[in-house]
Structure 1
């Protein structure tokens, strides 16, 4: 089941998955208070999260994380499909993310395209991926 998630629960998953060796405050985004935090629940357990940020007609998702024991089982894919359906329903022009280079193949399955925007942060290489939408008149 996909639903809105309590911010404290989002931070817990982000911390466990992304930067377990850092302080929990490290996974806080400056604009988290303006985001919509979404998660996938399997039998009542939160297993995958991401945070959505809208600017103009574009939707960015950030801090997409799935608990290690649940990775590769389709929960993150279901969450991303939900985001894309939401973006289409709301007639957003573009959905985008900062992807770790080694994760780009996952996003390409969902028709995300690489941009020429590449950067490094925290010892990881990132690339901005996007999916654009055309809307009927």
Structure 2
């Protein structure tokens, strides 16, 4: 198992397969993807999990975190997310956050993210902004 930076196009393919397979391919693209850092976790050279990170000043948002369905519940996504948090800390990020689907809140709490009061709905799904603050 290895984690490395990937091209946005690699992230797009996995995002589409996992997150929105019934939507047009362009639906999974973000306007900011050119400015993002895209990470992939590989098992025997197969890309099985992706996440995209967008840094603005001392804050970072991770988005479009997805793991191929046959590889879920094996710890790959958790390993990738832990790596992203370590990188954020190394880069001096003071706040990292995500727009979490409400039903996934417990998963993100395991990584020290806390729910904020900011909630919204998009594409028929309910979200809550979750964040982790780094104190130096």
Decide: shared fold, TM above 0.5: yes
Distance in 2 of aligned mates of 1:8 and 1:85 = 24
For structure 2, the residue ranges without an aligned partner over 5 or more in a row are none
State the partner residue of 1:60. 61
Distance in 1 of aligned mates of 2:7 and 2:29 = 14
State the partner residue of 1:44. 45
Helix, strand or coil at the partner of 2:135: coil
Distance in 2 of aligned mates of 1:124 and 1:51 = 20
State the partner residue of 2:35. 34
Instruction: Name segments (4+ residues, structure 1) moved above 4 Å.
Output: none
For structure 1, the residue ranges without an aligned partner over 5 or more in a row are none
Instruction: Work out the number of aligned pairs and report it.
Output: 135
Distance in 1 of aligned mates of 2:92 and 2:124 = 36
State the partner residue of 1:134. 135
State the partner residue of 1:10. 11
TM-score by length of 2: 0.98
Distance in 2 of aligned mates of 1:84 and 1:7 = 20
Give the 5 Å matches for 1:66-81: 66-81=67-82
